[in-house]
Amino acid sequence: MFKSVVALVTLAASAAAHYTFPSLVVDGTTTPAWVNVRKTNNFNTQAPVTDVTSADFRCYDSQTDPTAETITVQAGQPLGIMSDGTIYHPGVVNVYMAKAPGDVSSFAGDGDVWFKVYQISAVTDGGQSITFPAEGVPGVTFTLPEALPSGQYLVRMEAIALHVASTYGGAQFYISCGQVNVENGGSGTPGPLVAIPGVYTGYEPGILININYPIPKNYTQPGPAVWSG
């Protein structure tokens, strides 16, 4: 009986430590959950993706047949992505965007169309310590580049939890894709462009890593460089 209770408590604590990213923040206002973000498979379980080659690694929505509304944002202005709690685990963040050829609602994001617009990495000091500025925050906010061309985009949030990433497949990816219509954009050429899935193998030093011992002397953020316009 005691063992059963302990197992249930452990399971509940594990579930509580997980999270989703169901909302955007536009003009300082947080949107309702799953209105401007495609509902992910884990909207109830909050379970992460661990297979970087899976089709669900893109928007994690294979089981929900999601529909989302597209919200208008301005190039050069802040855009936020909010969790349903906090980013509980130690780890890093990448935010990718992909421009739809037309209506983003019917855009799957296939091919080399994704570019990184924002990241939060780890902080190291030569092996004495490693800290994760993204840990414990409720969401992220970044500025859309002024040079970002007008049009409709998917915005993909990726929080990579690294607390059990010392073996292949141990890193946990918390993912969602929002839909935005960018107005007053510029004439930049976003890049480098990558495919998702395809951007990672899972063996990158920033994904397959023991953050506990020995303490890493440095940290290499996975993915391409951030495009800032």
| Phi and psi angles of residue 120, each rounded to the nearest 5 degrees, phi first | -125, 115
Interval 26-39: pLDDT, tens: 999 999 999 999 99
* Extended strands (E) in 87-171: 91-99, 114-120, 123-124, 130-131, 139-143, 151-161
Tallying the residues shown for the chain, one arrives at 229
Is the confidence at residue 16, as pLDDT, over 70? Answer: no
Structure confidence by residue, pLDDT tens digits, 187-207: 999 999 999 999 999 999 999
Domain boundaries, the chain: 23-195
pLDDT per position as a tens digit, 155-190: 999 999 999 999 999 999 999 999 999 999 999 999
> Two tokens at 90?
């130690």
pLDDT reading at 6 higher than 60: no
Q: Concatenated DSSP letters for 122-136?
A: -EE-SSS-EE-TTTT
pTM of the complete model: 0.93
Question: What pLDDT is stored for residue 17 in this prediction?
Answer: 76
Q: Which residues contact 69 (CB under 8 A, 6 or more apart)?
A: 35, 36, 179
Fold of 23-195: Coagulation Factor XIII; Chain A, domain 1 (2.70.50)
Pairing of β 71-74 and β 172-183? parallel
Angstrom distance (rounded) from CA 179 to CA 152: 7
Task: With residue 180 as reference, give the H or E element that holds it.
Answer: strand 172-183
Q: What are phi and psi of 23, to 5 degrees?
A: -135, 150
Q: Are the C-beta atoms of residues 99 and 193 closer than 8 Å to each other?
A: no
pLDDT tens-digit map of 103-159: 999 999 999 999 999 999 999 999 999 999 999 999 999 999 999 999 999 999 999
pLDDT at 10: 35
Alpha-carbon gap, residue 63 to 42, rounded angstroms: 9
